[in-house]
Structure 1
Amino acid sequence: MENQTMVRNFILVGFTAGRKLQIFIFVVLLVIYVSIIIGNLVIVTISIVDHGLHVPIYYFIWNLSLLEIGLTSSVIPKVLFNLASGEKTISVIGCFVQFFLYFIFGMTEFLLLAAMSFDRYVAICHPLCYSTIISNRLCSLLVLGSWGLSFALLIGQSVVVFELPFYNQNINHFFCDGAPLVKLSCTETPVLDLVNFSIAVFSLLGTLIIIVLSYANIIFAILHISSTSGRQKAFSTCASHLIVVFISYGSCIFMYVKPIHMGGLDISKGVGILNTVVSPLLNPFIFSLRNRQVQKALQKYFSMCSSYRTILSLMKSER
């Protein structure tokens, strides 16, 4: 991918703190990243292996966990490498790949969250029609449609961004984000800015409206539950889900639903960490690991592993 300038590498300015603070950030990010990978892989594995979890909501959840792994892995490993080595360069091709993967995983995640909110709406507000409406075919179409729509919206935008003539190598961020990249261009980009803004509004505000409407109907239905314990359980589940939604949406709306040339990139670095680290860390715990059905499945497989180890140790001792 050739650029109109001689820029072959970008420099990720990233964290400008002292070396000791960078090492501290490296250790914290490494621990969080490993926790994200393990937590989400556990959700994917248990949802696929346990037949009791072969229901639509867990199909969405393990796909969401895969997206969280992809979103975090598109950014954090390069950040960790830069912090550990002191290197800050990234090739134009590498920057394009990181940019594209980050946004396609992120947009697909928002579309999937909207699909999950619709699933919960049908399950709580129309339980008798649930199996008819939310079929396996519809779930597959929603997941594949989320991927396909994200790819269609982002591939053209991504290519156009990296065909811009760049006059500077320094990206004022810790990864190849859109706003700092466009700021390096030596040409005016009003059409591209409008396209970027429109895509952000569609993917963020459009899906957020679906989620808000779904949960508004869910809460209205919960208020009509006669059992106090039932209402409390349902409200607890909805509240935990909405916490993750508002963390994800709040950070992304702050970063992307604004004119591209507005200031605040230094603040966006902190918000970017929130979006790429905090949400992927919370999602498996809030959506799955707090669920009794998932906890029972985990206990069953842990006990099976423990029994298997006991049998192996007995066989070795007899020998």
Structure 2
Amino acid sequence: MAKYNQTWVNEFILLGLSNDQKTQLYLFVLFLVMYLVTMLGNFLIIHLIRLDTRLHTPMYFFLSVLSIVDICYMNSTVPQMLIHFLSSRKSIPFCSCVFQFYISLGLAGTEFFLLGAMAYDRYVAVCYPLHYTVIMHGGLCIALAAACWTAGFLNSLMETIITFRLPLCKNTINHFVCETLAVVRLACVDISFNKIMVTFSVFVVLMLPCSLVLFSYAQIVKAILRIRSAQGRRKAFGTCASHLTVVSLCFGATIFTYMWPRATSTVELEKMISIFYTVVAPMLNPLIYSLRNKEVMNAMKKALGRFSEEK
């Protein structure tokens, strides 16, 4: 204890995004709007998929699971951020910080694995269209979704245990949430082992699903190029464009955060990128999938037509 000048931490102070009261008020309004748009968009997608039998396919099953993950992920971080924007003292109890760390990291991992599973679904749909319903049967879809949740939270459990066993010298976190790199910086001891474990975690949670996505889309591009008609190529690519957009946003921002050289990275830059994959990406997911997807738009028009008839 004396060697590392360790202090007993029963709460953390989050520095957040700004110290200026007026700026914090603007940020509160901005993040509240983004939070409400995310909740509305994701709940709408889940509701449309549940109502329209034409959307009862593996692709939309995974999309509904992705919406559930995004809803949970936003609720693990954003409500606390909104409260802190209006608070003079931005504190969080130690146990709450650990819980937030575990839940948010587990949900983030689940989303990356889920995006890999969705890429595999698109690969089967484009490359083996005649066997699609046989290969992607209900049991396999449920098993893949369960495996994504399990893998995400097992990785999170490992990182949570390793991170919060470190002796901490400070309790001020230069971030707006309890995030891996921000918490590790509070340690009194050498964190080389933690850096190795973060690298290993990044490889498992990011690079493995990303490799599956790259392999799947390489095969998809080959299959699309073999289609003779231009209309057939457009239709095949259209089924994958939305997913590829979401994958690029989510994987790109996170890989940049955790694999960018530390010497050229700053805490403020990490915060900005964290905002993107914590708040912006979950908000964009339902917009991308709905605006770029004719089936979802048709289901929405059908639901609105039914609602107007009932009135």
TM-score range, shorter chain: over 0.9
Q: Which residue of 1 aligns with 2:277?
A: 275
Equivalent residues of 2:122, 2:239 under 8 A apart: no
How far does residue 106 in structure 1 lie from its aligned partner after superposition? Answer: 0.5
Aligned-pair CA distance for 1:174? 0.7
2:228 counterpart residue number: 226
Bigger Cα displacement from structure 2, 256-265 vs 149-158: 256-265
1:234-276: CA deviation from partner (whole Å, max 9, x where unpaired): 4345344322211111111122235779852211000001111
- For 1:299-310, list aligned pairs within 5 A: 299-309=301-311
Aligned counterpart for 1:163 among listed residues 162, 165, 183? 165
Deviation of the 1:84 alpha carbon? 1.9
* Residue ranges of structure 2 left out of the alignment (5+ in a row): 1-5
Superimposed CA distance per residue, residues 126-182 of structure 1 (whole angstroms, 9 cap, x where no aligned partner): 111111111100000000011111222221321232222211111011110001101
Report the secondary structure of 2:25's partner residue: helix
Match of 1:182 among 167, 171, 184: 184
- Pick one of 236, 239, 242 that aligns with 2:244: 242
Q: Which residue of 2 aligns with 1:50?
A: 52
**Which position in structure 2 is the counterpart of 1:124?**
126
Q: Which residue of 1 aligns with 2:211?
A: 209
Alignment of 1:99-138 (within 5 A): 99-138=101-140
Contact 1:201–1:257 at 8 Å: present in 2 too?
A: no
Paired position in structure 2 for 1:198: 200
Residue 61 of structure 1: aligned partner: 63
- Matched to 2:77, the amino acid is V
Cα RMSD of the aligned pairs, angstroms, is 1.8
Identity %: 37
**Is the 1:251–1:274 Cα contact (8 Å) retained in structure 2?**
yes
1:282 Cα deviation (Å)?
Answer: 1.4
Residue aligning to 2:3 = none
CA distance 1:126–1:267, change in 2 (3 Å): same
Of 84-93 and 238-247, deviating more is: 238-247
State the one-letter code of the partner of 2:206.
L
Is the CA contact (8 Å cut-off) linking 1:124 and 1:221 kept in structure 2?
yes
Deviation at 1:289, TM superposition (A): 4.3
Query: Quick one: structure 1 residues 266 and 202, their matched pair in 2 at CA, closer, same or farther if it must change by over 3 Å?
Result: same
Indicate if the aligned counterparts of 2:122 and 2:240 stay in contact, CA closer than 8 A. Answer: no
**Structure 2 residue 100 is the aligned partner of structure 1 residue 93:** no
Q: Distance in 1 between the 2:188 and 2:72 partners?
A: 32
Q: Distance in 1 between matches of 2:265 and 2:49?
A: 43
Alpha-carbon separation, structure 2, partners of 1:87 and 1:5: 20
The one-letter code matched in structure 1 to 2:249 is I
Q: Which residue pairs with 2:267 in the alignment?
A: 265
SS at 1:85 equivalent: coil
Runs (5+) with no aligned partner, structure 1: 310-319
Supply the distance in 1 between the matched residues of 2:156 and 2:264 (Cα, whole angstroms): 22
User: Equivalents in 2 of 1:234, 1:132: separation in Å?
Assistant: 19
After TM superposition, the score normalised by the length of structure 2 is 0.93
1:73 paired residue number: 75
State the distance in 1 between where 2:116 and 2:21 align.
Answer: 42
CA distance in 1, matches of 2:264, 2:192: 13
Secondary structure of the residue aligned to 1:74 is helix
Deviates more, 1:97-106 or 1:14-23: 14-23
For residues 293-304 of structure 1, the aligned pairs below 5 Å read: 293-304=295-306
Query: Cα 1:307–1:295, aligned 2, differ >3 Å: closer, same or farther?
Result: same
Could you list the per-position Cα deviations for residues 192-218 of structure 1 after superposition, in whole angstroms to 9, with x for gaps in the alignment? 221121011111111111101111111
**How far does the alpha carbon of each residue in 1:275-310 deviate from its partner, in whole angstroms, 9 at most, with x for none?**
11221111112224432222222222222222222x
